[in-house]
C-alpha cells in the first residue's frame, strides 16, 4: 500500500509503552450484558491482570441504529471505565456485521455464492466486499467512530473489521463481476493479454472485450482454472481494499494510533504476506483443536507464518479459546495446563500479547458454548484461575516485549500456490497445501529446529536450508532464485508437485519440476498419485545414518529420471523396485534434495535431518526430547529462552549456559531444568561479564 504516513515503529512504540509488558486481555462485549455487570467485569479484569481488550467488534447496530443516527453514549461509558482502570482499548471499526436497517434498505450489499445463492443476514460478515454501498456506509461509520474517539485516553490500537474472509471469501454478485472486470483490466491492460494468460483458446473461451468476463460462477464443468485463480487473487484484493479504505481514514484522523486486523490461522482466503505491509502490527487468532495430537505443531507453524509475514516483528495473539470452542463437531475443553502451555508457545514464537475470545462467556447467541475467561459458572472456576495465573506470570517478563527470533531454516509457502494447488481437475485432490506444509514442518519441529515460514520472494540470504513442500505454483524467477541459492552454497529440499506452473497456472514445459530441474538434477515425466490408503515400501540408503532402512510412502509417486542426482531413498515394491523415491544433488556449492513421494514420518525426519546436518543447522538446544519445544527471543544484549513441554512425561533438560528463571519469584539461576508434563520454563540470559583482560601492551 502506498502510504506515506506509514510509520509502524513510532506507533508501536506508543502502544508498547502503554501496555508496559506482554499485553493480556480478550474480546470484550459488554453490550451483551446489563450495565451492572461492567463493574464486576472491571474488578475481575484487575484480578486477571487484563491490560488490553478488543472492543465493540460487532457493535454497528448499536452505534448506528438508523442511517447516520450515531449514538456513542453506551461505548463512551465503557471507554471511560476502561481508561479509569488503565485498560487499553483495541477499538474496532465495527464494520464486521452490517446492521439490519442497512440490509433492509439495500439487500444488494448481501454476498452471493458461485451458484447464485444470496446469503441472508442473521449471522455476520454478510457483505459483498465490492459493494459500493457497503464500502460507503462502512467509510462513514469509521469516520464517525474515529472522529468521536480520536482523543480518548483508552484508545491504543485500531481493530479494523474482523477476521476478513473467514466466512465470505469471495462474492459472485454483479457488483463483484464489475469490480473483477476493473481488476482484470488493470492487471492485463488488454483483452489479448488476458486471453494469453488464461489460455482461452481452450474450450472456445476467447474474449473480445473485458465486458464479457464473469466471475467463475457454477458452470457445467470445470471453470477456467486461470480465471478461478485470478478470482481468488481478486477476492483477496477486494477484502484488502476494504481494509485499506478503513485504514486510510484512521491514519488521517489518528495518525499516531497503530492499526491492525486479526487474521485467522490457517485461513486460505487472505494472503498475510500481501496484507502485512498495510498494517502496523500483525494479529492472529489461533484455535488449535485439543483433540488433535499434532495441534501444537500446526499452531507452531501458523505462528511462524504470522511472525515472518510481519518481517520478524512481534505480533499479537488477538484471540484464542480459554477452553472449548463452539464451532467444531465435537468441542473439547482444554485440560489443566494446556491453555497456559499454548499461550506461552505463542509468546515463545514472537507474540507480544495473549488475548482470548472472549472475556465473559455469552449467555445467549450462537457462541454461548464457546468458553470465556469468565465462564457461565463465574470466576470461582478452574478456567478463571488458570487465566488469572497466566496474567500474573506474563506480567513477570516485560523484557520479552519487542524481542526477535533468528532462524536458519526457511520453509516456503505462498497463498497463490495454495489457491492454484487446490483447484479442481488435478492429478490428485488429496495433495493439500496446509497438510503438505505440515508434513515438512513437523520433522523440523521434532528435531528442535527453529523455522521461518516465508514467501518465495523473501530474502533467503540468511538461511542455510530452504524447504519447498509441494509448491505447485512457482514463477521462473523464483525458481531461478532457488537455483542460485543452492549454487551459492545453500541446502534445498523440494517435494513432488513443486514448480509445476507459472503465475497464470500454465505448465513449465520440458519436464517437471520446470525451473528447479537443473538444481535438483532430476526430471519427471508423469505423476502416479496413489489411491486413498495405498502405501508402498521404500528402502533407505545403504550408508548408516538417521534414515530408517525400510519405510513406506503414500499419496504420490513419480518415476524420476536422474540427471546428475543420486538416490537417497528408493522404492522397494515389485514393479517400482530400485526407482528413486528421494534424491540428492550437488549443484554449485550447495546441495539439493528431491522427494518424490510422501515418506512416513520417521523416514521424512531422517531425510530432513540429513539436510539439516549438511547445512550445518543446529537445534535450538543441543539435547531436546521429542515433544519439547525451545525458542530464543533476542533483545539488545540479552535473550530469553522459552522451553515448552508438550508431552505427558517429565523431562530434565540441560542448558548450554547458566540462566535466570524468570517465572520464579526469586529469579533463581539454573543450568538444568525439570519440566513436568505441559510445563513451561522462561529463562533469561545472564549479563555478560565486562571484559577485564588487560589490553596488550
Please identify, using beta-carbon distances, which residue of 56 and 596 lies nearer to ligand GAL: 56
Closest approach of ligand GAL to the CB of residue 163, in Å: 4
Query: Radius of gyration (Cα) for the chain, nearest Å?
Result: 26
> In the complex with ligand GAL, which residue's Cβ is closer, 316 or 683?
316
Q: Which of 61, 114, 166, 535 binds ligand GAL (CB under 6 A)?
A: 166
Hey, what's the cell of 57? 467488534
Nearer Cβ to ligand GAL (24/58): 58
CB of residue 96 vs ligand GAL: minimum separation in angstroms?
A: 8
- Please enumerate in sequence order all residues whose Cβ is within 8 A of that of 418, keeping only pairs 6 or more positions apart, or say none: 268, 433, 434
Residue of 149, 231, 287, 359 that binds ligand GAL (CB under 6 A):
287
On whether the CB atoms of residues 513 and 596 are closer than 8 A, the answer is no
Select from 320, 399, 392 the least CA-distant residue to 359: 320
299 in Cβ contact with 286 (< 8 Å): yes
582 binds ligand GAL (CB under 6 A): no
Cβ nearer to ligand GAL, comparing 367 with 546: 367
Contact positions with ligand GAL (CB under 6 A) in 370-409: 370
**What is the per-residue binding string for ligand GAL in 313-332, x denoting contact by CB under 6 A?**
------x-----x-------
Instruction: Select which of 64, 313, 319, 568 is catalytic.
Output: 319
Long-range contacts of range 541-547, CB-CB < 8 Å, 24 or more positions apart?
541/567, 541/568, 541/569, 545/606, 545/610, 546/605, 546/606, 546/609, 546/610, 547/603, 547/606, 547/607, 547/609, 547/610
- Residue 663 C-alpha cell reads as 517465572
Is residue 285 near ligand GAL by the rule CB under 6 A? yes
> Between residue 341 and residue 370, which ones bind ligand GAL under the rule CB under 6 A?
357, 367, 370
- Binding residues for ligand GAL, rule CB under 6 A, total 11
Q: Does 95 bind ligand GAL (CB under 6 A)?
A: no
Could you give the angle at which helices 132-149 and 225-253 cross, rounded to 10 degrees? 30
Query: Should residue 415 be labelled a site residue for ligand GAL when binding is judged by CB under 6 A?
Result: no
Q: 590-620 burial string, b = 16+ CB within 10 Å, else e? A: bbbbbbbbbbbebbbbbbbbbbbebbebeeb
Q: Distance between CA 282 and CA 287 in Å, rounded?
A: 17
Pick between residue 287 and residue 418 the one whose CB is nearest to ligand GAL.
287
Under rule CB under 6 A, residue 163 binds ligand GAL: yes
**C-beta separation of 241 from 138 below 8 A:** no
Where in 232-271 is the site for ligand GAL (CB under 6 A)? 264
Please indicate whether residue 246 is annotated as part of the active site: no
User: Cα(173)–Cα(542) distance, rounded to whole angstroms?
Assistant: 60
- 319/679 with CB nearer ligand GAL: 319
Shortest reach from residue 325's CB to ligand GAL, in Å: 5
The b-or-e profile of 448-483 (16+ CB within 10 A means b, else e) is bbbbbbbbbebebeebbbbbbbbbbbbbeebbebbb
Least distance (Å) between residue 390 CB and ligand GAL: 19
Nearer to ligand GAL, 367 or 600 (CB): 367
N-terminal to C-terminal alpha carbon distance within the chain? 57
Place of cell 521429542: 626
- Find the part of the chain contacting ligand GAL (CB under 6 A) among 161-169, 419-427, 551-559, 630-638: 161-169
526 is annotated as an active-site residue: no
Q: Which residues are catalytic?
A: 163, 319
Binding site for ligand GAL (CB under 6 A): 162-163, 166, 264, 285, 287, 319, 325, 357, 367, 370
Amino acid at each position: 500500500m502506498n502510504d506515506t504516513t506509514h510509520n509502524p515503529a513510532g506507533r508501536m512504540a506508543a502502544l508498547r509503552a502503554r501496555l508496559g509488558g506482554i499485553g493480556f486481555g480478550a474480546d470484550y462485549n459488554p453490550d451483551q450484558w446489563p450495565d451492572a455487570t461492567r463493574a464486576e467485569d472491571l474488578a475481575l479484569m484487575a484480578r486477571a491482570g487484563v491490560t488490553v481488550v478488543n472492543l465493540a467488534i460487532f457493535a454497528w447496530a448499536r452505534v448506528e441504529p438508523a442511517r447516520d443516527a450515531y449514538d456513542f453514549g453506551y461505548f463512551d461509558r465503557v471507554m471511560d471505565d476502561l481508561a479509569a482502570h488503565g485498560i487499553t482499548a483495541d477499538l474496532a471499526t465495527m464494520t464486521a456485521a452490517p446492521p439490519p436497517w442497512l440490509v433492509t434498505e439495500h439487500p444488494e450489499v448481501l454476498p452471493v455464492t458461485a451458484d447464485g445463492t444470496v446469503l441472508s443476514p442473521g449471522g455476520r460478515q454478510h457483505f459483498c466486499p465490492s459493494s459500493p454501498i457497503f464500502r460507503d456506509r462502512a467509510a462513514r461509520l469509521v469516520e464517525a467512530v474515529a472522529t468521536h474517539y480520536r482523543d480518548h485516553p483508552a484508545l491504543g490500537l485500531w481493530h479494523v473489521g474482523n477476521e476478513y474472509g473467514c466466512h465470505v471469501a469471495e462474492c459472485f454478485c454483479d457488483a463483484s463481476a464489475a469490480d473483477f472486470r476493473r481488476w482484470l483490466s488493470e492487471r492485463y491492460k488488454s483483452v489479448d493479454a488476458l486471453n494469453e494468460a488464461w489460455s482461452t483458446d481452450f474450450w472456445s473461451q476467447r474474449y473480445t472485450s473485458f465486458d464479457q468476463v464473469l466471475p467463475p460462477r457454477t458452470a457445467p464443468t470445470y471453470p477456467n482454472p486461470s480465471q478461478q485463480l485470478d478470482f481468488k487473487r481478486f477476492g483477496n484484493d477486494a477484502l484488502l481494499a476494504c481494509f485499506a479504505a478503513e485504514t486510510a481514514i484512521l491514519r488521517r484522523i489518528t495518525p499516531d494510533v497503530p492499526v491492525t486486523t486479526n487474521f485467522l490461522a490457517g485461513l486460505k482466503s487472505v494472503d498475510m504476506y500481501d496484507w502485512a505491509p498495510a498494517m502496523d502490527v500483525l494479529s492472529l487468532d489461533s484455535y488449535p483443536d485439543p483433540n488433535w495430537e499434532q495441534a501444537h505443531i500446526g499452531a507452531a507453524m501458523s505462528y511462524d507464518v504470522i511472525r515472518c509475514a510481519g518481517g520478524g516483528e512481534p505480533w499479537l495473539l488477538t484471540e484464542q479459546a480459554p477452553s472449548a470452542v463452539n464451532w467444531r463437531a465435537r468441542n473439547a475443553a482444554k485440560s489443566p495446563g494446556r491453555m497456559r502451555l499454548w499461550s506461552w508457545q505463542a509468546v515463545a514464537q514472537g507474540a507480544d500479547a495473549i488475548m482470548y475470545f472472549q472475556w465473559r462467556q455469552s449467555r445467549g447467541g450462537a457462541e454461548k458454548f464457546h468458553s470465556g475467561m469468565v465462564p457461565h459458572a463465574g470466576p470461582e472456576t478452574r478456567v478463571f484461575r488458570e487465566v488469572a495465573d497466566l496474567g500474573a506470570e506474563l506480567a513477570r517478563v516485560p523484557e520479552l516485549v519487542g524481542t526477535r527470533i533468528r532462524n536458519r531454516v526457511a520453509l516456503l509457502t505462498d497463498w497463490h500456490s495454495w489457491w492454484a494447488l487446490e483447484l479442481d481437475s488435478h492429478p490428485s485432490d488429496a495433495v493439500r497445501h496446509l497438510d503438505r506444509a505440515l508434513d515438512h514442518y513437523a520433522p523440523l519441529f521434532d528435531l528442535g529446529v527453529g523455522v521461518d515460514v516465508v514467501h518465495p520472494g523473501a530474502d533467503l540470504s540468511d538461511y542455510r536450508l530452504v524447504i519447498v513442500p509441494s509448491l505447485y505454483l512457482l514463477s521462473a524467477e523464483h525458481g531461478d532464485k532457488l537455483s542460485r541459492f543452492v549454487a551459492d552454497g545453500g541446502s534445498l529440499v523440494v517435494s513432488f508437485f513443486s514448480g509445476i506452473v507459472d503465475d497464470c497456472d500454465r505448465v513449465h514445459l520440458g519436464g517437471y519440476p520446470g525451473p528447479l530441474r537443473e538444481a535438483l538434477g532430476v526430471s519427471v515425466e508423469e505423476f502416479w498419485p496413489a489411491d486413498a490408503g495405498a502405501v508402498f515400501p521404500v528402502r533407505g540408503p545403504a550408508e548408516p545414518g538417521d534414515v530408517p532402512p525400510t519405510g513406506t510412502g503414500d499419496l504420490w509417486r513419480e518415476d524420476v529420471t536422474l540427471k546428475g542426482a543420486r538416490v537417497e531413498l528408493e522404492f522397494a515394491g515389485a514393479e517400482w523396485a530400485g526407482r528413486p523415491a528421494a534424491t540428492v544433488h550437488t549443484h554449485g556449492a550447495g546441495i539439493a534434495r528431491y522427494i518424490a513421494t510422501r515418506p512416513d514420518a520417521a523416514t521424512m525426519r531422517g531425510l530432513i535431518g540429513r539436510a539439516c546436518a549438511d547445512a550445518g543447522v543446529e537445534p535450538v538446544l543441543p539435547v531436546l526430547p521429542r515433544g519439547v519445544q525451545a525458542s530464543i527471543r533476542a533483545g539488545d544484549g540479552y535473550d530469553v529462552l522459552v522451553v515448552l513441554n508438550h508431552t505427558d512425561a517429565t523431562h530434565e533438560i540441560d542448558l548450554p549456559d547458566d540462566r535466570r528463571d524468570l517465572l520464579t519469584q526469586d529469579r533463581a539461576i539454573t543450568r538444568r531444568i525439570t519440566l513436568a508434563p505441559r510445563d513451561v520454563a522462561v529463562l533469561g540470559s545472564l549479563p555478560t561479564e565486562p571484559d577485564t583482560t588487560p589490553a596488550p601492551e
